[in-house]
Structure 1
């Protein structure tokens, strides 16, 4: 009886702790990492750092001076030298540690061993970033941050910079129009493309920019945000009227820039400009973000007349993509399908779209169209996205880099409420007034009638 009581006293708490840890790891990986995973991985890293680096081939032979010093002072074995390790900095999702590379090493050597380091230290993933020549940072991610997306609390959105998703290395994916002016976003039905667009509109709604929408799905995607849109068209016929207006607006802004360039010899160099961002703030036109949903609808034709209209619209889109950045006009082109078979101008338009985001698509050709020309190895990653993970995508740009991202959930009602609260930020652009959507007036909320009517107090 005494042995049974002892077993219950000792085994009960151990079983409870083990069960709680297993539950936290499955349901709340962040809590599990902070309480269990972080100290265990830190101990593993500290205790096995030198041996792991040697097993991964990340060590170099010691210098002759070091060999002579060791032989003269001690009798211990002379071992290869690993990269010098910096301070281990814990985060809510993993660890960060900087390494100073030994002579003869390069960051690619460490990146090639990232998978080995992941298994050796028992973490979910290891990412390598170059900080400066000779110094790299290892970002150890303790769990799959894309399974249940939680955006970092400390975000610093700026003008035309919108955090819309989370990268697989636990850093935010920021849509920066000043750096990447135009982007192509592809995704099949229920892939999360609409959620990505919803985050983008909600983030831009709080900024002093003009939002112009072309939604060829009869407006079902962008019409809920009408209170914040400066213009909205819902079919190709209306788009054929809107695009020439945007081209004229772009030309007028170029005329403004050229007028500013007629400078006197005494004008300071910092006042000479080639885009709207060099203009004085009181003269600078408001930036315009053109959101195109279901871009394939602009390419489809049924008659000869439709073909002429299509060619004209595609030409105007290409002109905006080629010249719009300096005029402060940016393109966000979205669709389910995008390929060369859409017609003349499709590949030329794609070449002007620097950023690429590819959600789950129905065919490999669309993934190749989005990513094949900038990062061929990313095509297989985009084709491997499972339907059970909506919002997961592969993001890349023309620099060749790419990463997996996932957009957090944002309800349509919250996004619409954000647009309504920001309706006062809609800029005054006379050229776009004919295309301003009608915003229904919300009925006033009536206060409920009390069940018992108050009686006046009498003397």
Structure 2
């Protein structure tokens, strides 16, 4: 009886702690990492750093001076030298430490051993980022941060910068239109493409930027944000009328740049290398971001007349993509597929879209349309996205780098409310006034009386 009581006293708390840890690891990985995973992984790293680096082939032979010093002071064996390790900095999602590489090593050597380091130190993933020649930043992620997205507390801010998703290394993916002016977003139905678009629009809605939308699905995607849009086209006929206005606006801005910098008026636009950001702030026109949802609707034709209209719209989009950046006009093209089968000009337009975001697609060809020409190795990662993970995407750009990201959940009501409260930030562009969407007036709720009236006795 005494042994049973002792077993219950000792085993009960141990079982409770083990069960609690297992539950936290499955349901609340952040809590588990902070309480259990962080100290365990830190102890593993400190205790096995030299041996793990040697097993991964990341050590070099010691210098002669080191060999002589060791032999003169001790009798122990002279071991190979690993990269010099900096201070370990714990985070809410993992660990960070800086390594100074030994002579003859490069960041690619450490990146090639990332999978081995992950298993040796018991973390979810290891990422390598070069800081400067000979120095790298090693980021250890303790759990799958894309399973339940929580954006970092400190996010980059600035004009035309929108933190829109979370990378798999627990850093924020920022859509910066000043750096990557035009982007292409592909994804099948229910892949999370609309969620990505909501974050972009709500992020830009809080900034002094003109938002223009082309939504040929009768506006079902962009109409909820009408309060903040400077222009909205909901069918190909309206889009055909809106695009020439944007072309004229772009040409007017080029004329402004020419006049300010003393460039001859007959100089072709293609030869002007400056942009609106070189103008004084009081003369600088507001940036314009054009969102095109379901771009295939602009390419599909049924009659000969529609084909002529399609060619004109595609040509205008290509001109905006080629020349719009200097004029402060940026494109965000969305669709399910975007290949040569859409028609003339599709490939040329896609080549101008630097930023690529590929959500779950229905076939490999669609992933190749988005990523095949900039990061071929990312195509397989895009095809591996499961339907049970909406919002998960693979991003890439012309540099060849790519990574997986996931957008946090944002309801349509919250996004529409953000656009409505920031409607006063919509700039006044007279050329776009005919295309300004009609916004229904919200009923004003009368406040409840502070004192409830009491009936008087008759």
With normalisation by structure 2, the TM-score equals 0.96
User: Which residue does 1:354 correspond to in 2?
Assistant: 354
Q: Could you tell me how far apart the structure 1 residues matched to 2:31 and 2:348 are?
A: 49
Post-superposition Cα deviations, 1:392-437, rounded to whole Å, max 9, x if no partner, equal: 0000000000000000000111111100110000101000000000
Shift of 1:156: 3.0
Cα shift at 1:63: 1.1
Counterpart in the other structure of 1:75: 75
Provide the rounded CA distance (Å) in 1 between the counterparts of 2:194 and 2:452.
48
Alpha-carbon separation, structure 2, partners of 1:7 and 1:277: 74
Whether 1:55 and 2:38 are equivalent positions in the alignment is no
Q: Look up the match of 2:386.
A: 386
Q: 333-342 vs 249-258, which deviates more?
A: 333-342
Partner of 2:266: none
Alignment correspondent of 1:218: 218
Match of 1:170 in 2: 170
The match for 2:99 is 99
Q: Does 1:332 align with 2:332?
A: yes
Tell me if the contact between 1:168 and 1:403 (Cα under 8 Å) persists in the aligned partners: yes
**How many Å separate the matches in 2 of 1:439 and 1:406?**
31
**Cα drift, residue 452 of structure 1:** 6.7
Deviating more after overlay: 151-160 vs 42-51:
151-160
- Is residue 3 from structure 1 mapped to residue 3 from structure 2 by the alignment? yes
Correspondences of 1:256-267 after superposition (within 5 Å): 256-262=256-262
Listed as ranges, the gaps of 5+ residues in structure 1 are 264-271
The Cα offsets for residues 280-316 of structure 1, whole Å up to 9 and x where unpaired, read as 1110000000000000000001111111100000000
Structure 2 unaligned spans of 5+: 264-271
Q: Pairwise CA RMSD of aligned residues?
A: 1.6
The question of whether the paired residues in 2 share the 8 Å contact of 1:359 and 1:393 is answered with yes
CA contact (8 A) 1:392 1:404 kept: yes
Measure how far apart 1:273 and its partner are: 8.3
Kept in 2, the 8 Å contact 1:257–1:273? The answer is no
2:89–2:97 contact (8 Å) kept in structure 1: yes
Kindly tell me: are residues 380 and 273 of structure 1, through their superposed partners in 2, closer, same or farther at Cα, counting changes over 3 Å?
Answer: closer
Q: What are the Cα deviations for residues 161-210 of structure 1, in whole angstroms up to 9, with x where unaligned?
A: 00000000000000000000000000100000000000111100000000
Give the whole-Å Cα distance in 1 for the aligned partners of 2:327 and 2:283: 13
Decide whether the 8 Å contact of 1:273 with 1:279 is kept in 2.
no
* 4+ aligned runs moved over 3 Å, structure 1: 446-453, 455-458
Question: Would you say how many aligned residue pairs link Structure 1 and Structure 2?
Answer: 450
CA contact (8 A) 1:44 1:121 kept: yes
| Inter-partner Cα distance in structure 2 for 1:447 and 1:44 | 61
Residue 229 of structure 1 deviates from its aligned partner by 0.2
Comparing 305-314 and 61-70, the one that deviates more: 61-70
2:323 maps to 1:309: no
> Counterpart in 2 of 1:298?
298
| Distance in 2, Cα, partners of 1:198 & 1:76 | 62
2: CA distance between counterparts of 1:209 and 1:453?
48
Q: CA deviation at 1:107?
A: 0.6
Q: Give 1:453 shift.
A: 3.6
Deviation for aligned residue 1:450? 10
CA displacement 1:317-336 (0-9 Å, x = unmatched): 00000000000000000001
Query: What per-residue deviation string (whole Å, max 9, x for no partner) do you get for residues 366-416 of structure 1?
Result: 110100000000000000000000000000000000000000000111111
- Give the structure 2 partner of residue 132 of structure 1: 132
- For residue 268 of structure 1, what is the aligned residue in structure 2? none
Return the offset for 1:338: 1.1
What is the match of residue 242 of structure 1? 242
Partner of 1:319: 319
State yes or no: 1:29 paired with 2:29.
yes
